[in-house]
Amino acid sequence: MTPSFAIGMLGAAFAILWPLCRTRTSMLLMQSGVAVFFALHYVLEGAVTGAVMNGLGLAQGLLAIPLGDKPLFRVAYLATLPLIAFVLVMTWAGAPSAFAAVGFAMISLGRYQLSTVRFRMFLLIAIPCWMLHNASVGSVPGLIADTFALGTSAWMLRRDLQRERARRQKVRLAGA
């Protein structure tokens, strides 16, 4: 087992667990763990765009936590979005870079959401992009993480949507 694989598998563990989190804050904290380990994994694999996007993801994840409570964090968070294009241009390595940038852009839009349902929806769009990136750069831990995260994200989104529908139904019945 190489150091890159071991570090990638630590990131995969976080990636497998974050979709199971029930709150936005816990999802963001777990994603920060994913970002740390996958940034290191991608550096060791020579996947520079993926590494830098994950480094930026760590900063974004932490900035996104207080978005609902502190308006200045919204400004700081939004200021990170143009960096996606800058990183893409500065680290361009063909298709893997494009997949990482699109996946990261979708995750960025997801992190900006205050609703866990909308957060999960954007992440379900992002995961296939990261799967393409990971297949392109040969990241087995990344593919493992993405496969599990896609399944658990879909399952948790379904659960959240069912709860939201039940809550709305309860409110409608109470108002009738």
CA dihedral 13, 14, 19, 24 (to 10 degrees): 170
Q: What is the pLDDT of residue 120?
A: 95
Yes or no: say if 79 and 107 are a contact pair by the CB < 8 Å rule.
no
SS3 content of the chain, % helix, strand, coil (to 5): 85, 0, 15
Task: Give the relative orientation of helices 82-90 and 95-112 as an angle to the nearest 10 degrees.
Answer: 160
Where exactly are the structural domains of the chain? 3-175
Query: So what's the pLDDT on residue 64?
Result: 95
Residue 174: per-residue pLDDT:
87
Ranges under pLDDT 70 in the chain: 176
pTM over 0.85: yes
Contacts of 107 (CB under 8 A, 6+ apart): 31, 57, 122, 123, 126
Residue 19 DSSP code: G
